């Protein structure tokens, strides 16, 4: 799949311009990329001008904060839902689909930071919920944390195709979510429903062995226990694609799952495709390079901040 | 039928659309904002000096429609102001809907708030353009009339930042140079000191914010001149402005206002506190650009190399007009180049030889002369307009300047070009 991307999710936000502008690597602005001409597609107040108004400096970056764990709920074999008390302003910033934060055990070093999708955000109470599947060294490190977590956010690039999603109104949408990727699907489903879309769900519980979505939204679940990799699961998906007149398809799961399911969709151009971002996100600021993918011309794209399109 | 796609709905784009339509093209015009005419919405000066000749030539060639509208919407006709004769000033508050209705009437397909961001190319040919929302628009021939002004980064780099002009980049998105996207490097104009671009040369004051005396004189005569005290004179401003035809000493020594519906202040910008110290300007406020006290839009940053038939070099099916096609100043210049590009788009689609205006017409000579000069370093610092500066001198020297329409008609008849733009080619 060819990739293209030049839309920075942070452009125009209170975190723009960022370090990348200071270091002549802005994703959006050619002038802040060291070029001698304007050639951006950014529609809004010019990032170069913002930078100039800040006396050629970046804006303040996101800060770590230690927040209380209100509740820990173990689900299935190895997943935990953390309910965290956060400032109301942060909860408000995390309501958009694709929102994520970095979390870590406050007793450990920065390289234990892990990006986790927001599943639920209530800005009136200042509460957010995240679901973490215990897998490797980073997630193991918070398994037994009961009191506080160190968090940093908000970040927003957890979903590719956010603009497509925002455009979708009064339409039929099919949401496919597997395992822990049900968590980012929750905000997406809520957003789609808010825009009066008819949302249908197919859930593969996978190793979480749990239907997370039903607890947080009341979209119609066509099947809550398929196996997307099995022949039957694929048949089921084909069946629903044939009978439904969908405008948008959301796939929550690994890149491998995306690839498998997209292969089943014969006429991809017909649909708006929204995918979870599964790249290895490490700093979230476009600096470290862990999340780098390459477009057709071999140009590196920092996928932690850039909306990318698979063609 | 040939599908002609025009990008940019300023004077040049509108003129191209009309000429292409009359020649038999199926015309699609894409405009980034919600209005046609671009900077023409804040301009207004027509028929001054050599522009009179150019307008009459173009009418005789068959592109009469837009001049009929500017004449019809004139608030003042045949007026004089320093360095300029027989000018007419169209009402900027009336002109755009007139042009919009005309394009609608003749069947041009106009799309507003459709910003073109890229081109798709096969070898030397553009196959389609891409809109901001990824829509792909195919076409046979493309005409770029995106101008050379902005976007905000340029206005900051080479000016005093976004001054909130009529182009409204923050709202409608930045101008994109399609020729550059097609792999043709832009040419940049320079100021006398060698820096790039130039400030737009005038700002518009809200007439209601000026004293009754000024408004009365403007309404009656079209012009108001207020001499400045010595310490208020800023000679430096003459060098920075686009409109070299107005870069005369009178424009530094006086405040010169023209009545175009707004009060057109013939200076690129003027600090509001200084302006308000002048008699009758105590309550002055800007209409365009909104921050006219601080700066103005920056132009001439994106010129495509082209031949005298308006075809862009190295791309088989791309034409250009207006400021995109040279260091031109003014609506007349945009209409002249736009009409030629529009007419030639249909010729190009049919494989016919393209029309080149002969150099014994002022319009043909300007197009060719600007193209010669742009290759010279000093030439990049000049602007080319029928209305003044070096080119008007040249017009007079070459006997190209005349207000005798009958004589022009005879000449154009002799050249066998009378009403050529009215010929339906398909």
What is the rounded distance in angstroms from the CA atom of residue B168 to the CA atom of residue B172? 6
Distance from the Cα of A29 to chain B's closest Cα (Å) equals 9
Extract the tokens encoding B20. Answer: 């292409």
Whole-number pLDDT of residue A36: 87
Q: Which of B404, B425, B299 is nearest to B60 (CA)?
A: B404
Distances (CA, A) of B101 to A166, B21, B107, B114, B288: 34, 15, 10, 19, 24
d(CA B158, CA B190): 10
Both tokens of residue B355? 């029309």
Q: Chain B: residue nearest A164 by CA?
A: B133
Cα distance between residue B320 and residue B8, in whole Å: 10
In angstroms, the CA B141 to CA B347 distance is: 10
Give the mutation candidate from B114, B152, B183, B302 for the A interface (greatest A CB count, under 10 A): B152
Encode burial over B77-110: b for 16+ CB neighbours within 10 A, e otherwise.
eebebebbeebbbbbbeebbebbbebbeeeebbb
pLDDT over 80 (residue A81): yes
For A104, A268, B81, the CA distances from B73, given in Å and listed in that order, are 69, 52, 20
Distance linking the first and last C-alpha atoms of chain B: 7
ipTM of the complex: 0.74
H/E stretch holding A234: helix A231-243
The H-assigned helical ranges of B212-330 are 212-221, 236-240, 249-253, 272-275
Candidates A304, A196, A307; CA nearest to A247 is A196
Give the model's pLDDT for residue A1. 55
Point out the residue among B117, B152, B176 whose CB comes nearest to the CB of A46: B152
Whether residue A94 has pLDDT greater than 60: yes
Minimal C-alpha gap between B344 and chain A (Å): 29
| DSSP assignment letter at A116 | E
Environment class of B359 (CB within 10 Å of its CB; exposed 0-12, middle 13-18, buried 19+): middle
Give the pLDDT of residue A2.
66
Determine the distance in angstroms separating the CA of A306 from the nearest CA of chain B, rounded to an integer.
Answer: 17
CA B401, CA A137: separation in Å to the nearest integer? 83
pLDDT, position B163: 94
Do A276 and A158 contact (CB within 8 A), yes or no?
yes
State chain A's mean pLDDT as an integer.
Answer: 93
Query: CA A71 → CA A67, A85, B384, distances in Å?
Result: 12, 9, 73
More confident residue, B412 or A298: B412
Q: Is the pLDDT of residue A157 over 80?
A: yes
Fold of A64-155: Elongation Factor Tu (Ef-tu); domain 3 (2.40.30)
CA distance B100 to A6: 35
C-alpha count within 13 angstroms, C-beta hemisphere, residue A156: 23
Q: How far apart are CA B47 and CA B53, in angstroms?
A: 8
Residue A94: both structure tokens together:
């995390």
- What residue ranges of chain B have pLDDT lower than 50? none
Our CA-based measurement puts residue B111 at a distance from the nearest CA of chain A, in whole angstroms, of 18
* Res. A113: pLDDT tops 90: yes
CB contact under 8 Å between B157 and A48, yes or no, is: yes
Among residues A3, A267, A36, which one has the least CA distance to residue B154?
Answer: A36
The pLDDT of A98-126, averaged and rounded, is: 96
**Joined tokens for residue B224:** 């108001």
Residue B20, SS3 per DSSP: helix
Report pLDDT digits (tens) over A266-293. 888 899 999 999 999 999 999 999 999 9
Average the pLDDT over A224-240 and give the result: 93
Per DSSP (E only), the strands in B82-145 are 84-90, 109-111, 116-122, 125-131, 136-138, 141-144
Whether the CB of B174 is below 8 Å from some CB of chain A: the reply is yes
CB atoms within 10 A of CB A61: 10
Class of domain A159-276: alpha beta
Domains of chain B (ranges, CATH numbers): 3-76+91-192+299-422 (3.50.50.60), 198-288 (no CATH)
CB pair distance less than 8 Å for A39 and B186: no
Dump strand ranges (E) for A123-258. 127-133, 148-155, 159-160, 172-178, 198-204, 220-223, 248-252
Which tokens hold the place of A290?
A: 């862990």
| Cα–Cα distance, A207 to A210 (Å, whole number) | 8
A140 touching B (Cβ < 8 Å): no
For chain A, give every domain's residue range.
64-155, 159-276
Determine the distance from the C-alpha atom of residue B168 to the mean position of all C-alpha atoms in its chain, rounded to a whole number: 17
A11 touches chain B (CB under 8 A): no
Q: How far apart are CA B199 and CA B190, in angstroms?
A: 11
pLDDT at residue B194, rounded to an integer: 80
**C-alpha angle A28/A45/A155, rounded to 5°?**
55
Spell out the residues 6+ positions from residue A222 whose beta carbon is closer than 8 angstroms to its own: A200, A201, A202, A240
Give the CB-side neighbour count of residue B141, counting CA atoms within 13 A.
28
Whole-number CA gyration radius for chain A? 19
Residue A8 has pLDDT above 80, yes or no: yes
Residues from chain B contacting residue A41 (CB–CB below 8 Å): 117, 132, 173-174, 176
Give every CB contact of residue B118 below 8 A, 6+ residues apart in sequence: B129, B130, B176, B178, B181
Q: Which of residues 179-238 of B touch A (CB under 8 A)?
A: 180, 186
Which of B117, B129, B153 to mutate against chain A (most A CBs within 10 Å)? B153
Element (H, E) at B244: none
């Amino acid at each position: 799949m060819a990739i293209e991307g030049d839309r920075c999710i942070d452009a125009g936000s209170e975190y723009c311009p960022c370090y990348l502008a200071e270091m002549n690597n802005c994703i959006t602005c050619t002038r802040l990329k060291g070029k001698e001409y304007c050639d951006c597609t950014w529609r809004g107040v010019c990032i170069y001008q913002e930078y100039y108004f800040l006396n050629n400096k970046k804006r303040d970056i996101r800060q770590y904060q230690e927040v209380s764990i209100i509740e820990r709920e173990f689900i299935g074999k190895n997943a935990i839902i953390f309910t965290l008390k956060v400032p109301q302003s942060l909860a408000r910033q995390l309501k958009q689909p694709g929102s994520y934060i970095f979390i870590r055990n406050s007793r450990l070093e920065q390289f234990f930071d892990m990006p986790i999708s927001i599943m639920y955000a209530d800005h009136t109470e200042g509460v957010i919920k995240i679901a973490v599947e215990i897998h490797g060294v980073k997630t193991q490190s918070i398994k037994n944390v009961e009191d506080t977590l160190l968090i940093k956010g908000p970040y927003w690039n957890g979903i590719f195709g956010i603009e497509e999603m925002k455009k979708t109104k009064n339409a039929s949408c099919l949401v496919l979510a597997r395992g822990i990727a049900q968590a980012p699907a929750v905000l997406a489903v809520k957003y789609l429903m808010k825009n009066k879309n008819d949302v249908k769900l197919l859930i593969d519980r996978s190793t979480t062995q749990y239907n997370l979505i039903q607890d947080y939204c009341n979209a119609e679940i066509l099947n809550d226990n398929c196996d997307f990799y099995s022949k039957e699961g694929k048949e089921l998906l084909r069946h629903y694609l044939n009978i439904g007149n969908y405008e948008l398809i959301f796939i929550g799961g690994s890149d491998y799952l995306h690839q498998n399911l997209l292969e089943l969709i014969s006429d991809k151009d017909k649909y708006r495709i929204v995918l979870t971002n599964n790249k290895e996100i490490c700093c979230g600021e476009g600096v470290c390079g862990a999340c780098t993918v390459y477009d057709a011309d071999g140009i590196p794209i920092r996928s932690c901040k850039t909306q990318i399109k698979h063609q | 039928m040939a599908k002609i796609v025009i990008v940019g709905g300023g004077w040049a784009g509108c003129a191209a659309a009309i000429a292409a339509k009359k020649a038999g093209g199926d015309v699609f015009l894409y405009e980034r904002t919600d209005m046609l005419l671009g900077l023409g919405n804040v301009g207004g000066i027509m028929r001054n000096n050599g522009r009179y000749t150019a307008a009459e030539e173009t009418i005789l060639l068959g592109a009469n429609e837009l001049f009929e509208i500017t004449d019809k919407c004139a608030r003042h006709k045949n007026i004089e102001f320093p360095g300029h004769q027989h000018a007419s000033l169209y009402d900027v508050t009336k002109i755009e809907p007139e042009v919009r209705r005309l394009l609608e009437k003749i069947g041009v397909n106009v799309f507003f708030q459709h910003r073109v961001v890229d081109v798709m190319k096969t070898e030397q040919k553009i196959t389609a353009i891409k809109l901001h929302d990824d829509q792909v628009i195919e076409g046979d021939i493309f005409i770029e009339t995106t101008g050379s002004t902005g976007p905000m980064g340029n206005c900051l780099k080479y000016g005093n930042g976004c001054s909130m002009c009529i182009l409204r980049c923050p709202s409608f998105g930045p101008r994109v140079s399609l020729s550059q996207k097609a792999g043709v490097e832009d040419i940049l104009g320079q100021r006398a000191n060698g820096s790039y671009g130039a400030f737009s040369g005038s700002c518009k004051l809200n007439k209601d914010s000026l004293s009754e005396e000024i408004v009365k004189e403007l309404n009656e005569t079209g012009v108001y001149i207020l001499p400045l005290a010595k310490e208020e004179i800023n000679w430096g401003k003459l060098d920075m402005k686009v409109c070299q035809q107005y870069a005369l000493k009178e424009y530094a020594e006086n405040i010169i206002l023209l009545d175009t519906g707004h009060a057109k202040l013939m200076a690129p910008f003027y600090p509001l506190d200084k302006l308000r110290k002048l008699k009758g300007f105590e309550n002055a406020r800007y209409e365009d650009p909104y921050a006219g006290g601080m700066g103005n839009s920056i132009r001439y940053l994106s010129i495509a190399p082209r031949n005298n038939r308006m075809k862009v070099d190295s791309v088989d099916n791309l034409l250009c007009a207006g400021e995109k096609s040279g260091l031109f100043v003014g609506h007349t210049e945009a209409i002249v180049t736009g009409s030629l590009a529009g007419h030639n788009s249909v010729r190009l689609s049919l494989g016919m030889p393209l029309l080149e205006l002969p150099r014994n017409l002022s319009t043909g000579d300007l197009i060719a002369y600007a193209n010669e000069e742009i290759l010279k370093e000093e030439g990049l610092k000049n602007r080319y307009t029928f209305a003044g500066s070096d080119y008007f001198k040249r017009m007079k020297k070459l006997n190209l300047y005349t207000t005798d329409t009958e004589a022009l008609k005879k000449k154009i008849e002799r050249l066998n070009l009378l009403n050529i733009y009215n010929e339906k080619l398909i």
